[in-house]
Amino acid sequence: MKITVDQDACCGSGLCVIRADRVFDQREEDGVVMLLDEAPSPEDFEDVRAAAAGCPTGAIRLAE
């Protein structure tokens, strides 16, 4: 799995961080997503898929 995020599309909701905090974080100043791990381990795949599916702006893209 390879993850990319579109920081321009992110609205800073933080839902991805709630679902997969080993992979996503938020910038302190404005809450925009930061990608901590663009190639997560398989144990995180389910959480990452949930984060991508639940992102309200479609800012998370997965290549599997």
The reply to whether 16 sits near ligand SF4 by the rule CB under 6 A is yes
Nearer to ligand SF4 among residue 41 and residue 61 (C-beta): 61
Six-digit token pair at 13? 């909701």
DSSP one-letter code for 61: E
The reply to whether 27 sits near ligand SF4 by the rule CB under 6 A is no
Q: Which residue from 3, 23, 33, 48 is in contact with ligand SF4, where contact means CB under 6 A?
A: 33
The reply to whether 53 sits near ligand SF4 by the rule CB under 6 A is no
DSSP string, 19-35: H-TTTEEE-TTT--EEE
The reply to whether 11 sits near ligand SF4 by the rule CB under 6 A is yes
CA distance 46 to 28: 26
